[in-house]
Structure 1
Amino acid sequence: MFESAEIGHAIDKKTYEAAEPALREALLEAQYELRQQARFPVIILINGIEGAGKGETVKLLNEWMDPRLIRVETFDLQTDEELAHPPEWRYWRQLPAKGRIGVFFGNWYSQMLQNRVNGRTKDAQLDQSINRALRLERMLCDEGALIFKFWFHLSRHHMQARLKSLADDPLHNWRLSPLDWQQSKTYDRFVHHGERILRRSSRDYAPWYVIEGVDPYYRSLTTGRILLQGLQAALQSGRGATPAPHAAPLVASPDNRSLLNSLDLTQVLSKDHYKAQLATEQARLAHLMRDKRMRRQALVAVFEGNDAAGKGGAIRRVTGALDPRQYRIVPIAAPTDEELAQPYLWRFWRHVPARGKFTIFDRSWYGRVLVERVEGLCAQADWLRAYGEINDFEESLVEHGVVLVKFWLSIDKDTQYQRFKEREATPFKRFKITEEDWRNREKWDAYVEAVEDMVDRTSTEIAPWTLVEANDKRFARVKVLRTINDALEAAFNKNNQPRPCGLHRDGTGRLVRTHS
């Protein structure tokens, strides 16, 4: 795979100087068209051999193009904040918006490769990491992103020659880093495992480009031309248009039985029993949140449900047991312009809590397969693929110590009508009822179908849905609290509970995460 990048590609200075102005102008024009159209972001992943010109090439691209529209991110040592979150969090929060370019050094491939080269993981774990990276890239590309993956290469001979040349040069030996010397000792392993990564992760939607890094003229022109061709093709192709659906929605059961209509909505809790059980479960939650084992977990509660099903009241009973510093409520409404410029999961990734914290989502990422589906706010292909993307997202959370509980608060149509009328008749509740609520009620059957599909496709062993019979608010509130408490206790007591992250000390003695 690296043979063609070790044959000594070179371009003379005269040829370079003749080609560089036109390439620079074309790249700048493409960049401004990208900004003007603002239909998709560009993500450039930089990987490869130390000393192969990665930094020099990116510096040159910033000179050729408008650096105000390019953001370069380096992911080397993880901060304490990053270590307290799932590993993907650090990448999601730095994604470029539509119309912008993001350059990622030390990206997800760098992390997995270093762990494999240094013996912290095995081939099976490396392949798992590759598969997770491909799921992320597939999702980003489906959302319209244009991804370039560059591997800058040097043969062992050229790498050693470069190190010797720099070491003997008193004016430039400061450019040598410990990583350069380390990689000179692990070169064969680095190339071997790097080839495995490239072979298994080069896809039509995000291919790898191997660039020989010996000659700076060849390296610069080749990289610039690849970027230009990719940008021009994407700008001309109408990138961001939704592909045709490749799966069918679930079909209603012929006998008209479903999860929702099989719920016993007549369940009630008397006022006395409610007070006693509410106090018990709130005390239990307060105790669990102060448990020292919570330091290794995070808690996420997702609240979805019919309009007027009592989500707000249930959330208030949950938070009523806690210190406000222990939790955060994230209300989800229509996306802002900033959020619309990113993949739809971005707005949720940035609110993922650190270990020891509790985040409540009042509506959530399931809006893609509920309101956006029913109201036609996204194409069928978008909400169909969202089921798999949501399952991957939730698996990433759970794998790294997040206790995830998901509630659908269900009421019948008559109960909803009564609550709507009650809100209209009560002055301090009128703000809760809008014309949109009445309009959504007319699409009751369509929402029921969407909820059925949602539960069938996303209630998994690691992140099951809890359907809450909410005709009686007291019964619903106690069930919600008890479910959260049971989930926390199960996570604390699980004998084979994986650590929320693998930690080891690097050469500086700093704690860093091992990516599996």
Structure 2
Amino acid sequence: MFEAVEIGNVLSKDVYKALIPDLRVNLINAQYDLREADFPVIILLAGNDRIGCNALLHTLHDIMDSRYMRTNALGRPSTEELERPRFWRYWRALPQRGQIGVFLGAWPLNAIHEYMNGNLKKSGLERRLEHIRRFEQALIADGALLLKFWLHLPKPVFKKRLKAAKKNPREVWQIEAEDWQAYKVYDEAIKVAERVVRQTDTGDTPWQLIESTDARYRDATVGQAILQALSQRLPGDTADPWPNPPSASTACDPHTRQPTILDAVDLSKSLSRSDYRCQRTTYQGQLSHLSDQAAAQGISSVLVFEGWDAAGKGGVIRRLIAAMDPEIYNVFPVSAPTPEELAHPYLWRFWHRLPRAGDVTIFDRSWYGRVLVERVDGFASAAEWQRAYSEINDFEEQLCDRGIVLLKFWLHIDLDEQLRRFQDRETMSYKKYKITEEDYRSRDQWPLYEQAVHDMILRTSTEHAPWHLIPSNNKRWARIEVLKTYCQQLEARL
């Protein structure tokens, strides 16, 4: 999850200086409009970058009117607070309608710290997260605008920042013993943090994960997100935080579009025909043996394939099933839902197709349609697809808890390769049926799909069900990567 935001976002000093004046004016105007509104704004700043949270708070006080923004940096509970239910301290500090309340760390970090210190067991953490979800849902149901920002600092940057601050007399005072301790347990703590973020990320109360490496990018991104949320909620014409949004045609320009996790996929990967044939024989032989063993031991698999049109999902699936006993696998190509399926919750049709013990179910497209095509083409409302991330994570966690081997593959190609494959299909009699006008229309929406894929990976790549991003400009490379990955996962389970 957090690796997906480690893209290296940077905002230059000149761009930041040009952006801040208008952002300050628009935020202050929004604050004054908020004073007459019938809802409060609750901003939660958390993450593994404590110093960054403090610095961001200073920036918010600088670009907003601090008279109408109350900060709640709740540390260790007082004797009075310890005498009452745990969430009493948070209820007391909630802002009234028309005002903004900022909480530093608060309920999510409190849960993480208690778990890491051994004061909260796994079952206790689960109960705490349920309390958090109910608490946040109560705020939303009462009309509050809840904005949750998680500031993520990669481990190498974390260490570098601590060392630099230690040597700088002007910054050393910001470093506390707990910061060094946090670095020592970084790997363990980040897993707990992912669980907390994932299980408290809902359609009504989503987390916004912010890369905190570059201070200007971090502060500007959060400031714009606050303004955007206020603009959407307040009546009237509060200034648009994105006065010149990129169009579909310019969003593909690397000089104007925002980077996504897909940019990190190396599409130059390739295999020669001879290497491919040799490795295909090896891995298909392994898969035949491993899948038989898994079937005998009652270990099921669910394989999910998503990717661009013409990315090669069908070809990969054919190489997989060629190595398995036909009695143990089922392939489900997912298309538009039937009337019966539409009459049920959208995950209903996938629950019905889960494999029995020892079997393999392969989905050619999947439940992720809700946050991809349904989002982009407007078949699902914003509330529906935003809520789907947490519903999907819960669904997949239940699969993994049951012992199912769950693998999720995104087959990635670029626009030029897709066009070449479209044109090839038009000349092949047995592939003409695969190409339609809808496929070409979807190319015009590539930037929208690219952002949707980025969000999907960011929000649903979890410790128990990570996404595997497969470079697929070369079909041979993609087929071997999938075969190899599945063999490795089965071998680890057996």
When the two structures are superposed, what TM-score results if normalisation uses the length of structure 1? 0.48
Alignment counterpart, residue 370 of structure 1, candidates 369, 372, 396: 372
State how far apart, in whole Å, the 2-side matches of 1:408 and 1:292 are.
Answer: 24
Which residue of the partner structure matches residue 30 of structure 2?
A: none
**What displacement does 1:490 show?**
1.4
Which residue of the partner structure matches residue 326 of structure 1?
A: 328
Contact 2:203 2:384 in 1 (8 A): no
Q: How does 1:8-47 map to 2 (within 5 A)?
A: none
- Unaligned stretches of 5+ in structure 1? 1-122, 140-242, 493-516
- Unaligned stretches of 5+ in structure 2? 1-120, 138-201, 212-216, 218-255
Which deviations, in whole Å up to 9, do the C-alpha atoms of 1:194-229 show, x marking residues without a partner?
Answer: xxxxxxxxxxxxxxxxxxxxxxxxxxxxxxxxxxxx
Q: How does 1:291-440 map to 2 (within 5 A)?
A: 291=293, 295-440=297-442
**What displacement does 1:257 show?**
3.2
Which deviations, in whole Å up to 9, do the C-alpha atoms of 1:466-494 show, x marking residues without a partner?
Answer: 000000000000000001111111122xx
Name the SS of the counterpart of 1:330 in structure 2: strand
Q: How does 1:173-322 map to 2 (within 5 A)?
A: 245-247=204-206, 256-291=258-293, 295-322=297-324
For the aligned residue pairs, the C-alpha RMSD in angstroms reads 3.2
State how far apart, in whole Å, the 1-side matches of 2:208 and 2:336 are.
Answer: 24
Letter matched to residue 317 of structure 2: I
State how far apart, in whole Å, the 2-side matches of 1:482 and 1:318 are.
Answer: 10
When the two structures are superposed, what TM-score results if normalisation uses the length of structure 2? 0.50
Name the SS of the counterpart of 1:261 in structure 2: helix
Name the SS of the counterpart of 2:266 in structure 1: coil
Contact 1:249 1:453 in 2 (8 A): no
State how far apart, in whole Å, the 1-side matches of 2:322 and 2:390 are.
Answer: 35
Compared CA separation, residues 130 and 354, structure 1 to 2 (3 A): farther
State how far apart, in whole Å, the 2-side matches of 1:251 and 1:367 are.
Answer: 25
Which residue of the partner structure matches residue 457 of structure 1?
A: 459
Contact 1:249 1:384 in 2 (8 A): no
Contact 1:245 1:380 in 2 (8 A): no
Letter matched to residue 292 of structure 2: R
Compared CA separation, residues 301 and 427, structure 1 to 2 (3 A): same
Identity of aligned residues (%): 49
State how far apart, in whole Å, the 2-side matches of 1:129 and 1:355 are.
Answer: 30
Name the SS of the counterpart of 1:291 in structure 2: helix
Which deviations, in whole Å up to 9, do the C-alpha atoms of 1:131-166 show, x marking residues without a partner?
Answer: 89x99xx99xxxxxxxxxxxxxxxxxxxxxxxxxxx
Which residue of the partner structure matches residue 244 of structure 2?
A: none
Compared CA separation, residues 292 and 268, structure 1 to 2 (3 A): closer
State how far apart, in whole Å, the 2-side matches of 1:276 and 1:466 are.
Answer: 23
State how far apart, in whole Å, the 2-side matches of 1:447 and 1:251 are.
Answer: 21
Compared CA separation, residues 391 and 424, structure 1 to 2 (3 A): same
Letter matched to residue 358 of structure 1: V
- Give aligned pairs, total: 267
Which residue of the partner structure matches residue 485 of structure 2?
A: 483
State how far apart, in whole Å, the 1-side matches of 2:123 and 2:204 are.
Answer: 32
Which residue of the partner structure matches residue 104 of structure 1?
A: none
Letter matched to residue 415 of structure 2: K
Which residue of the partner structure matches residue 446 of structure 2?
A: 444
Contact 2:203 2:387 in 1 (8 A): no
State how far apart, in whole Å, the 2-side matches of 1:245 and 1:264 are.
Answer: 35
State how far apart, in whole Å, the 1-side matches of 2:359 and 2:335 are.
Answer: 23
Which deviations, in whole Å up to 9, do the C-alpha atoms of 1:434-488 show, x marking residues without a partner?
Answer: 1111111110000000000000111111000000000000000000000111111
Name the SS of the counterpart of 1:376 in structure 2: coil
Contact 1:288 1:294 in 2 (8 A): no
**What displacement does 1:244 show?**
8.9
